[in-house]
Amino acid sequence: TTRESDLILLLQSFSPAADLEAFCCCSIYHRHR
C-alpha cells in the first residue's frame, strides 16, 4: 500500500539498509496476519 511505501522510504532516508529490514518486517507482519 502507499502507507507501507512511505514508511519504507522514510526508513530508507535514515539508513540504506533500512528498506531491507522494513521489507522483512512487513513480510513477517503479513504472515502473522
Which residue, 30, 21, 31, is CA-closest to 1?
30
pTM recorded for the entire structure: 0.32
**Given this model, what pLDDT does residue 19 score?**
67
Q: What is the mean pLDDT of residues 20-31?
A: 74
pLDDT of 28 reads 75
- What's the domain count of the chain? 1
Which residues span the domain enclosing 15? 2-32
Instruction: Tell me the pLDDT tens digit for each residue of 6-24.
Output: 877 777 776 666 667 777 7
For every residue of 1-33, DSSP letters joined together read: -HHHHHHHHHHHHH-TTHHHHHHHHHHHHHHH-
